[in-house]
Amino acid sequence: MEKGYFITGTDTNVGKTWATIALMRYFKSRGKSVAGMKPVASGCIMQDGQMRNDDALLIQKNASLPIDYDLINPYAYEVPVSPHIAGVNNPVEFNQLVARFELLKILADVVVVEGAGGWYTPLNEQEANSDLAIALALPVIMVVAIRLGCINHARLTYQAIKQSNVDCAGWIGVCTDPDLLSRDENILAIRAAMDAPLLGVLPYREVADFDFFSEQLKI
């Protein structure tokens, strides 16, 4: 098993955090110590005098051991826009992210890193999530929101991952639309279009059930 994984999505709000927490619970249930990381987050709020992100706090809560927030989410931006815009006065520096990731690798058996937005979402003026996955030398797990348009989005993102010359360890489907017609057929079409394995499908839920979600995964 790899030391960690980089989680990317076919878009923003596709279920990356739910998939990330499900993966953390999955590895913990198999006796692994687990840490998570959300290196860059926009749309944060002030808590106790510091910017905090709800997804990053959830990742922190699900780690196997206590980890300082700043190690999990080094760049927390208030404005809910692309990180290269939100961070214009405090741009993301990859050497800082890599250094924190290396510390997490020492602390845990597995580190699950959730990217911000999609594969080509810019993190600063020069670099995107794709560059961060390369810098961290992690295999990628792609999260696909199973909704109208998902086949096209999945194929485009998968093609982009392959063009970046990184290993795609597989993909996870997250059912975000309870009224989607032909859900199973959409999933089958995505499976047929890619040679990366399907690692699991998270059924639609109004409220996340992470233990149940973790049981749907097979890594």
- Provide the domain count of the chain: 1
Rounded CA-CA distance 45/8 in Å is: 23
Beta bridge partners of 110: 34
Amino acid at 218: K
Could you report the per-residue pLDDT of 149-166, keeping only the tens digit for each?
Answer: 999 999 999 999 999 999
Domain extent for 119 = 4-215
Active-site hit among 32, 38, 105, 218:
38
Are the CB atoms for 175 and 201 separated by under 8 Å? Answer: yes
Amino acid at 32: K
pLDDT of residue 48: 86
CATH of the domain at 173: 3.40.50.300
State the average pLDDT for the chain.
Answer: 96
pLDDT of residue 2: 61
Which two tokens mark 63?
């780690």
Which of 23, 110, 140, 124 lies closest to 77, judged by CA?
A: 124
Rg of the chain over Cα atoms, rounded to whole angstroms, equals 16
Residue 2, SS3?
A: coil
Rounded CA-CA distance 183/27 in Å is: 28
Are the CB atoms for 162 and 127 separated by under 8 Å? Answer: no
Are the CB atoms for 131 and 94 separated by under 8 Å? Answer: yes
Average pLDDT by stretches of 10, the chain with 219 residues? 88 95 97 98 93 97 97 97 95 97 96 96 97 97 97 98 96 97 97 97 96 96
In this structure, what DSSP letter does residue 43 have? S
Q: For this structure, is 16 an active site residue?
A: no
- Would you tell me how many other CB atoms lie within 10 Å of the CB of residue 192? 9
Which of 39, 141, 17 lies closest to 100, judged by CA?
A: 39
pLDDT of residue 1: 47
